[in-house]
Structure 1
């Protein structure tokens, strides 16, 4: 009868272990290389991945594995860690094909190569101009965007008590992902407004103004000012007028929602009956006439200390400011051509 040894000698173990370690190492290297150079599927399988700001890479890898566009989340995390790309992933919308290699996926995510288009809202643009620009660039239908801007459910969700989001779409450049819709863009722009203006709250509280009033006045200043340095001066003129009950008589308010302000307003425009026309009403209009930037808002909350009541545009885009009507009329005669309407 054959007897087996009761125990394996330590010498035998020492001889086997190196081979065992080599075999395991080869298996791990093979697993790593196979997954590195073997796509999970075909180009036809594409997954829309949205990466929010601040999300961890582990969650991204798990989502891609669950979607079937990669074979192993562990493998993708390992590759990302070795390449130093796990902390460089940028937020945005991405189309990830299952035919892409892990290296290609990581390069796309870390490089911010989003499948999105850029949309820039200039300072002072109204929701109507924004809608027109979005349609012109082939991003959204103008009517659908305006519907989102006036949707009562959206306004309630965003904490806006007005009838539209006018004034609360923060000017700037946005990535419009392929999975975004009109409401998504409006929401992102309003949230950016909240984020960027949070630091102005102490100044707002000190003035005693409501946020809506400050935004409304800032929107008028934004359309009147050409030079950023003059915004506090223009703010002082309007605030001085409000203080004594003098009409603002601001050109852009007369044509809000009717046509784009181009610097010249006709006599017919000034006579138009509109709750926004500050040639026909006293005080502020019922809401903003555009979406102001941070400088215009700061100008309202920290205006220049002056006793100016008038200003008129010079030919270089700046303004002459006056304390009296006589001084103002002299400026009008000097800087405005015959036939043009007087400014303030």
Structure 2
């Protein structure tokens, strides 16, 4: 009986020790995983730029505080300990452009490699519509997309731009049925800004100024072609939105000009999507019935204004279209564009490259 009690007591002690070891291992493992998670990105797949300024003479703890405040790191102490563990030093003052997808190693490398000369930069892509540009500005600044669009549509501000850039911003931006007066007037480029408090007006002004510089370059050619700036930007935007990487923009331009000459509707799908205010992979027949002056299936002539901005290749095509007899074109699934002269040829190409493919 006594021996059995001893055995029972021994096994109980053993069980307690084993349980304690397991709990201890779980605590250590949990602490390790938690510590490891603090070194990982705040948002692994994030690509959004976070602009920060590290003042001269900032300590590691001050830098950690700035990073945490901007939600670039998860924990200040973890950053400080990791810097000490890595033996990192030589952090430099200035502007940095980080993102929440960076881990601590990437952040430390960036901060010790040297700052940039600009506080933030905004990239405006070719074929971007005004609402998309507003979103790009909002991503890099303190201004909301709603504030930006309101400023872009503000008549008082636009009249200021008319005075500053009279050859570029004309009364045509206030044409009847224009959705956004400055649509197409914000040139595609990357714009660095050195003052973190740059006003919204100056951000927009820089983009219009870039357009104005190209207007000055092409002024004589526009005059020769009897194209106003507004009409050039409108035509260039249609070419930009229709062109694929493999498309010959000069041939596309020739189709548009030929149809205008014949008083045929341009029938270009991007104008329907612009009228609808949304992007779709395919334009359906019911979409073609949208009642809008931008719908080039229901209206002849150019749209009231540009439907997006355009890069230089589309400007060039609008100014120097090929001399052809083409009245139709369509894009194959591989991006190649097929040009035809008659509706019969166009329907044949459509059957070959589009309809038959969709039925398979």
User: Of 159, 179, 196, which aligns to 2:214?
Assistant: 196
Q: Please name the residue that 2:338 is paired with.
A: 320
Q: Please name the residue that 2:285 is paired with.
A: 267
Trace 1:19-98 onto structure 2 (pairs within 5 A): none
Secondary structure at the counterpart of residue 218 of structure 2: helix
Q: Please name the residue that 1:150 is paired with.
A: 153
User: Of 245, 257, 268, which aligns to 1:227?
Assistant: 245
Aligned pair in 2 of structure 1 residues 182, 228: CA closer, same or farther (>3 Å)? farther
- Residue 260 of structure 1, CA deviation: 4.1
Worse-matched range after superposition: 138-147 or 325-334: 138-147
Aligned pair in 2 of structure 1 residues 113, 216: CA closer, same or farther (>3 Å)? same
Secondary structure at the counterpart of residue 238 of structure 1: helix
- Residue 201 of structure 1, CA deviation: 1.2
Q: Please name the residue that 1:10 is paired with.
A: none
Q: Please name the residue that 1:171 is paired with.
A: 188
Aligned pair in 2 of structure 1 residues 281, 191: CA closer, same or farther (>3 Å)? same
- Is the contact made by 1:123 and 1:292 (CA closer than 8 Å) also made in structure 2? yes
State how far apart, in whole Å, the 2-side matches of 1:279 and 1:318 are: 23
- Residue 315 of structure 1, CA deviation: 1.4
Is 1:336–2:354 an aligned residue pair? yes
RMSD of the alignment, in Å?
Answer: 2.7
- In structure 1, the gaps of 5 or more residues are 1-40, 44-92, 96-110
Aligned pair in 2 of structure 1 residues 268, 338: CA closer, same or farther (>3 Å)? farther
State how far apart, in whole Å, the 1-side matches of 2:222 and 2:313 are: 14
Aligned pair in 2 of structure 1 residues 153, 94: CA closer, same or farther (>3 Å)? farther
User: Of 118, 122, 127, which aligns to 2:130?
Assistant: 127
State how far apart, in whole Å, the 2-side matches of 1:112 and 1:154 are: 34
Aligned pair in 2 of structure 1 residues 238, 116: CA closer, same or farther (>3 Å)? same
- In structure 2, the gaps of 5 or more residues are 1-55, 59-93, 97-113, 163-168, 175-180
- Is the contact made by 2:265 and 2:300 (CA closer than 8 Å) also made in structure 1? yes
Aligned pair in 2 of structure 1 residues 252, 113: CA closer, same or farther (>3 Å)? same
User: Of 247, 251, 266, which aligns to 1:248?
Assistant: 266
- Residue 120 of structure 1, CA deviation: 1.1
- Is the contact made by 1:232 and 1:300 (CA closer than 8 Å) also made in structure 2? yes
More helix, by proportion: 2
Secondary structure at the counterpart of residue 256 of structure 1: helix
- Is the contact made by 2:186 and 2:204 (CA closer than 8 Å) also made in structure 1? yes
State how far apart, in whole Å, the 2-side matches of 1:303 and 1:263 are: 27
Q: Please name the residue that 1:292 is paired with.
A: 310
- Is the contact made by 1:228 and 1:295 (CA closer than 8 Å) also made in structure 2? no
State how far apart, in whole Å, the 2-side matches of 1:152 and 1:228 are: 39
Q: Please name the residue that 1:28 is paired with.
A: none
- Residue 337 of structure 1, CA deviation: 3.8
State how far apart, in whole Å, the 2-side matches of 1:143 and 1:216 are: 25
Q: Please name the residue that 2:144 is paired with.
A: 141
State how far apart, in whole Å, the 1-side matches of 2:280 and 2:216 are: 32
- TM-score, L = length of structure 1: 0.63
Worse-matched range after superposition: 237-246 or 222-231: 222-231
State how far apart, in whole Å, the 2-side matches of 1:279 and 1:126 are: 21
- Residue 325 of structure 1, CA deviation: 0.8
CA shift digits 1:273-326 (9 cap, x unpaired): 111111111101111100111111110110111110000111111210000111
State how far apart, in whole Å, the 2-side matches of 1:153 and 1:94 are: 33
- Residue 124 of structure 1, CA deviation: 1.1
State how far apart, in whole Å, the 2-side matches of 1:136 and 1:42 are: 29
CA shift digits 1:117-163 (9 cap, x unpaired): 22211111110121233335565311111112111122112222214
- Residue 42 of structure 1, CA deviation: 8.2
- Is the contact made by 2:263 and 2:300 (CA closer than 8 Å) also made in structure 1? yes
